[in-house]
């Protein structure tokens, strides 16, 4: 096994990702950062220097379980203190499984400023994968705002709340073309001739050049801050073969729905007319579309890679049709049920978690069973390992369930809730079920929330229908225990429920949260702890804040 060393300087630079000049948080001057490539079993060492002047940072390795290195998870407030301006911090971890993963900032809402990238782990030489392809390519999907992180975060914490709004642009591999949405629909509309137009020379970027007849594995990942997306390549179908680092039973799709924090590998064969190019497109779904779709160009070898396709830009599916999204979620199954870890037949503990938006102390927050997460000043990992009493809200544990018999998920929440730093303590090695229950928010609408678990993968056992409340007595027997897919991020669909199961077998403290930056910033997350007494000596480098002292 190899050791891969990277040295990163994190700094603000002016960037024109969507042809509008704006500050971005960069890695060695780039946003998105470089794709890290390694082979299963290798060690990745990243030395991060924070050159942000006035902002802390911390970097999370999304999808890497950090077995034996829970302090390298990069979650500020949970597994480490922030990396201060001028300081240097070294992450060292083993990539123990092949698959398509990410890295990104995990401090405040810093990810919205562009500190992210992909992490690809290959199988060792001689190990066969359950499908064939010639080459792989990464496709990182993002959404992009012209407002700074600070304006966005302060707005969300204000009373009345100032929402971040819909993104100005969508990006494909960090590039896009800003154009006001209404002008993209009707270029002659009033104001559009004088509205900021894409600068001269600003055009849809090249995706990659395909050689006719070859099959490509596209490693598609979404690190949007808000948007759920639909991704498609004109004229080509795609075969989904991997989700969040796990092989899935191949499914052929015309387009892929993808939520923030998810990754998929799709196979694409260059089998269309090679004399022209094709649009690759990313469209907003699940929220009313107010952002021009992103376009990139798939070219065939021999053509000008920047030559626009002869066809009109694809429109994408209706943003408000939730049915095909739920269907795609339900269509995923593990590739070889006989070859993978069998699902434990029953849980040792079951959590039923109601997702609500509440007004708490004059602020709008998101809460789980009435508790809205605030990160403590001392990282949980240090306070739990050292037994520091009162470093987080350790008086009473957060509730395992809510009043599911009488709660009305079709009406906006009226209850209050609290803002707190609590933790669910799980028995090491126990089997845990989590059912996430969606509701309508204060505006009477119900959003899609992509939930991401650090330190583990979970089996996705079932999705409930729109408008149906989960009832443990009735719905537990609907769980798929035969061939469920394993993932680390899963969609909670509007007014629906999603059931997952995992084994709490990774000593450490792990965040479980909605991957929408604004939502976790407003408290939509919770913390699991298991077996911290089994964790080795904590490195001094994660300490120094709150009551954590070396
Ligand atoms: Cu990719 Cu806690 O997040
Ligand atoms: Cu959310």
Higher model confidence: residue 361 or residue 492? 492
Q: For residue 480, how far is its CA from the centre of ligand 1 (angstroms)?
A: 26
Would you state the pLDDT for residue 314? 96
Ligand 1 site, residue 62, Cβ cutoff 6 A: yes
For residues 163 and 176, give the distance between their C-alpha atoms in angstroms, rounded to a whole number.
23
**pLDDT score for 89:** 98
Domains of the chain, residue spans: 3-125, 136-331, 349-542
pLDDT digits (tens, 9 = 90+) for 503-518: 999 999 999 999 999 9
User: CA-to-CA distance for 326 and 477, rounded, in angstroms?
Assistant: 20
What would the pLDDT profile of 515-534 be if each residue is shown by its tens digit?
Answer: 999 999 999 999 999 999 99
pLDDT tens-digit readout, 57-113: 999 999 999 999 999 999 999 999 999 999 999 999 999 999 999 999 999 999 999
Report the candidate in 33, 92, 31, 25 with the shortest Cα–Cα distance to residue 64: 92
Q: Do domains 3-125 and 349-542 have the same CATH topology?
A: yes
Tell me which DSSP letter residue 71 carries: G
First to last CA, the chain: 32
Query: What's the pLDDT at 197?
Result: 60
Over residues 202-206, mean pLDDT: 93
Alpha carbon 397 to its chain's center: 27
Q: Is the CB of 501 under 6 A from ligand 1?
A: no
Q: Please check the confidence at residue 191 and state whether its pLDDT lies above 90.
A: no
CATH of domain 3-125: 2.60.40.420
- pLDDT mean over 447-475: 97
For residue 289, the surrounding DSSP H or E stretch is: none
Top-level class of domain 136-331? mainly beta
Whether the pLDDT of residue 339 is over 80: the answer is no
Stated pTM of the model: 0.97
528, 458 Cβ separation under 8 angstroms: no
Q: What is the pLDDT of residues 389-415, one digit of tens each?
A: 999 999 999 999 999 999 999 999 988
Range 127-136 average pLDDT: 96
What is residue 195's predicted lDDT score, i.e. its pLDDT? Answer: 58
- CB 513 less than 6 A from any atom of ligand 1: yes
Q: Is the CB of 58 under 6 A from ligand 1?
A: no
Ligand nearest to the CA of 526: 1
DSSP letter assigned to residue 213: T
Judge contact between 135 and 127, C-beta under 8 A: no
Residue 196 pLDDT exceeds 60 = no
* Closest ligand, as measured to the CA of 436: 2
Average pLDDT taken over every residue of the chain = 96
Q: What is the pLDDT of residues 219-264, one digit of tens each?
A: 999 999 999 999 999 999 999 999 999 999 999 999 999 999 999 9
From the CA of 111, give the closest atom in ligand 1.
1
- Per-residue pLDDT at 513: 99
Q: How confident is the model at residue 441 (pLDDT cuts 50, 70, 90)?
A: very high
Shortest-distance Cα residue to atom 1 of ligand 1:
62
Assigned CATH topology for domain 349-542: Immunoglobulin-like (2.60.40)
């Amino acid at each position: 096994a190899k050791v891969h060393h990277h040295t990163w300087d994190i700094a603000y630079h002016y960037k024109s990702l969507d042809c509008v000049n704006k500050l971005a948080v960069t890695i060695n001057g780039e946003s998105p950062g470089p794709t890290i490539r390694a082979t299963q079993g290798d060690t990745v060492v990243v030395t991060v220097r924070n050159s942000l002047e006035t902002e802390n940072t911390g970097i999370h390795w999304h999808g890497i379980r950090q077995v034996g290195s829970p302090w390298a998870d990069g979650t500020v407030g949970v597994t480490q203190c922030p990396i201060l301006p001028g300081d240097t911090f070294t992450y060292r971890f083993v990539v123990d499984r092949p698959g398509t993963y990410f890295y990104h900032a995990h401090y405040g809402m810093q990810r919205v400023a562009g500190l992210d990238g992909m992490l690809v782990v290959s199988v060792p030489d001689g190990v066969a994968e359950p499908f064939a392809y010639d080459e792989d390519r990464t496709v990182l999907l993002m959404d992009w705002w012209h407002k700074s992180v600070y304006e966005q975060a302060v707005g969300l914490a204000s009373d009345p709340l100032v929402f971040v709004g819909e993104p100005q642009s969508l990006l494909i591999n960090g590039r896009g073309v800003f154009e006001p949405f209404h002008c993209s629909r009707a270029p002659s509309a009033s104001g559009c001739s004088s509205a900021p137009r894409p600068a001269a020379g600003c055009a849809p970027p090249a995706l990659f050049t395909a050689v006719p007849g070859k099959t490509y594995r596209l490693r598609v990942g979404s690190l949007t801050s808000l948007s759920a997306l639909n991704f498609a390549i004109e004229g080509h179908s795609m075969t989904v073969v991997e989700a969040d680092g796990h092989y899935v039973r191949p499914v052929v799709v015309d387009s892929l729905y993808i939520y923030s924090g998810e990754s998929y590998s799709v196979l694409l064969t260059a089998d269309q007319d090679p004399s022209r190019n094709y649009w690759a497109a990313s469209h907003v779904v699940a929220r009313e579309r107010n952002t021009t779709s992103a376009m990139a160009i798939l070219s065939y070898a021999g053509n000008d890679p920047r030559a626009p396709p002869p066809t009109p830009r694809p429109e994408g599916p209706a943003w408000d049709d939730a049915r095909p999204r739920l269907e795609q979620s339900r269509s995923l199954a593990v590739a070889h049920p006989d070859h993978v870890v069998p699902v434990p037949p029953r849980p040792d503990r079951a959590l039923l978690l109601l997702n609500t938006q509440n007004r708490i102390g004059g602020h709008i927050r998101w809460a789980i069973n009435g508790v809205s997460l605030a990160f403590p000043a001392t990282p949980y990992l240090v306070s739990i390992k050292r037994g520091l009493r009162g470093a987080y809200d350790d008086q009473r544990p957060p509730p395992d369930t809510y009043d599911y018999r009488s709660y009305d998920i079709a009406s906006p929440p009226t209850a209050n809730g609290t803002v707190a730093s609590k933790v669910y303590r799980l028995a090491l090695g126990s089997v845990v079920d989590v059912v996430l229950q969606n509701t309508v928010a204060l505006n009477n609408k119900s959003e899609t929330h992509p939930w991401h678990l650090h330190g583990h993968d979970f089996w996705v056992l079932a999705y409930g229908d729109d408008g149906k409340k989960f009832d443990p007595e009735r719905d537990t027997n609907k769980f798929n225990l035969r061939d469920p897919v394993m993932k680390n991020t899963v969609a909670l669909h509007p007014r629906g429920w999603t059931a997952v199961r995992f084994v709490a077998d990774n000593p450490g403290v792990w965040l479980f949260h909605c991957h929408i930056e604004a939502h976790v910033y407003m408290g939509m997350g919770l913390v699991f702890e298991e077996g911290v007494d089994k964790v080795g000596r904590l490195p001094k480098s994660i300490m120094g804040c709150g009551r954590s002292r070396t």
